[in-house]
């Protein structure tokens, strides 16, 4: 059987799909590789710091933990070392102290304190709580930050300073699993 060949006038009459199908039968097979495209978004951020300011550069993250049959704690030091006590076990996951940066003047005195302590974390979608206390600033020497102002002197020539802040998380016996969130306010006074 001889295949029917469409003329250009037949293709012009609206049978384009048929024309292409017919033409494809006469072309040699060509292997075409599928191409895949992946897309993702990234966040970009810049912070312009003014003199006599304080900014948070990192949130306090205790990481993933496993609650036991007895209460315990998870401690993050200003250096980022994470330890557990009591019935709490550490699981894999990111953990790190909070981090802050400030900008004052060389040799200026600064007071630093928390607005409240302890800080409560509440389970997302629930009412269960844990608390955070014993906030420790990564200074030399290290000092505990409370609701009473502690003071230090800015030593850098340009007046910029940065410090980590560790703390202790209090975990209850058989703490309900889930994500717990809360916030704390760190205040600074330039003198």
* Residue 172 scores a pLDDT above 60: yes
- pLDDT score of 13: 47
In a domain, 8, yes or no: no
**CATH at 118:** 2.60.40
Q: Which domain holds residue 146?
A: 53-190
* Residue 103 scores a pLDDT above 50: yes
What pTM did the predictor assign? 0.74
* Residue 67 scores a pLDDT above 70: yes
Local confidence band at 35 (pLDDT 50, 70, 90 cut-offs): confident
Q: Are 143 and 78 in contact (CB under 8 A)?
A: no
In a domain, 33, yes or no: no
In a domain, 13, yes or no: no
Lowest average pLDDT, out of 43-57, 90-104, 164-178, goes to 43-57
Q: Which two tokens stand for residue 149?
A: 């102002």
In a domain, 48, yes or no: no
Local confidence band at 139 (pLDDT 50, 70, 90 cut-offs): confident
- Interval 147-169: pLDDT, tens: 999 999 999 999 999 999 999 99
Beta strands (DSSP E) in 31-159 are 53-58, 65-66, 72-76, 82-86, 89-90, 98-103, 109-114, 119-123, 129-137, 143-145, 150-153
* Residue 45 scores a pLDDT above 50: yes
Q: What is the mean pLDDT of the chain?
A: 86
- pLDDT score of 31: 67
- 146-151 long-range contacts (CB < 8 A, ≥24 apart) are 146/113, 146/114, 146/117, 147/113, 147/114, 147/115, 147/116, 147/117, 148/113, 149/111, 149/112, 149/113, 149/189, 150/111, 150/112, 150/113, 151/109, 151/110, 151/111, 151/112, 151/191
**Number of folded domains that form the chain:** 1
* Residue 25 scores a pLDDT above 70: no
What is the average pLDDT across 62-82? 97
In a domain, 27, yes or no: no
């Amino acid at each position: 059987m001889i295949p029917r060949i469409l003329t250009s006038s037949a293709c012009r009459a609206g049978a384009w799909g048929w024309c292409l199908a017919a033409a494809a039968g006469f072309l040699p097979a060509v292997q075409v590789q599928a191409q895949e495209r992946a897309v993702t978004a990234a966040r970009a951020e810049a912070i312009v710091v003014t003199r006599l300011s304080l900014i948070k550069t990192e949130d306090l993250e205790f990481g993933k933990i496993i609650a036991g049959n007895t209460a315990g704690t998870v401690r993050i030091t200003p250096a980022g070392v994470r330890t557990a006590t009591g019935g709490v076990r550490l699981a894999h996951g990111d953990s790190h102290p909070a981090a802050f940066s400030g900008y004052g003047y060389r040799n200026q005195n600064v007071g630093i304190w928390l607005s409240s302590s302890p800080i409560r974390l509440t389970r997302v979608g629930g009412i269960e709580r844990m608390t955070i206390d014993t906030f420790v600033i990564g200074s030399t020497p290290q000092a505990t930050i409370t609701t009473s102002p502690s003071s230090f002197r800015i030593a850098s020539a340009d007046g910029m300073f940065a410090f980590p802040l560790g703390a202790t998380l209090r975990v209850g016996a058989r703490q309900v699993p889930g994500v717990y969130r809360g916030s704390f306010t760190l205040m600074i006074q330039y003198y």
